[in-house]
Amino acid sequence: MHLDYTPQAAVNLARAENHRRGLPERPYSRLIIIQAWQAVSEPPQDRPLALMDASTLDPNDTIVAGPYPGSNDLSGDVLQARLVVFNLGQRFYYFSNMTHGEVILFKGYDSANSLTPPHASFLNTSLGSKARPRESIEGRFFVYYY
């Protein structure tokens, strides 16, 4: 399980995306990165997406991984993530048999709440030979509160 961004990495990624698109930087009171995830292969998929209930995540169960993104790096290539250490109090959910018409939306980052849902895929061995290789797409959307 992982969270895609540390606070510094999320802000840096948003700045890099604005820079890439030629958008000026403006002050904001809150930044949210919404992630959209969709399976494009037919169900059942061999590696579904699992999300943790963020209310069951203890902040002490996260470990920073990856290089620190420099504040002047506007490439968007350096992402620092947080890995999650398992504990018995965590609750997980996964979406089996997703079809083309279904999309999962979740907060990948919220400057007002650092406990967003950790996520990962996993090998669903219960499907046996019925499983199809998962193909998926993901989009990220930056939401600014001014």
pLDDT mean by block of 10 residues, the chain; 146 residues? 93 92 94 96 94 96 88 79 95 91 96 93 91 94 96
Q: What is the pLDDT of residue 95?
A: 87
Q: What is the pLDDT of residue 139?
A: 95
Q: What is the pLDDT of residue 58?
A: 95
Q: What is the pLDDT of residue 93?
A: 95
What is the number of other CB atoms lying within 10 angstroms of the CB of residue 90? 18
Q: What is the domain count for the chain? A: 1
Of 1, 20, 9, give the one whose Cα is nearest residue 78.
Answer: 9
Residue 93 domain boundaries: 2-145
Q: What is the pLDDT of residue 43?
A: 94
Q: What is the pLDDT of residue 71?
A: 73
Please, what is the Cα angle at 85 between 65 and 98, to 5 degrees? 90
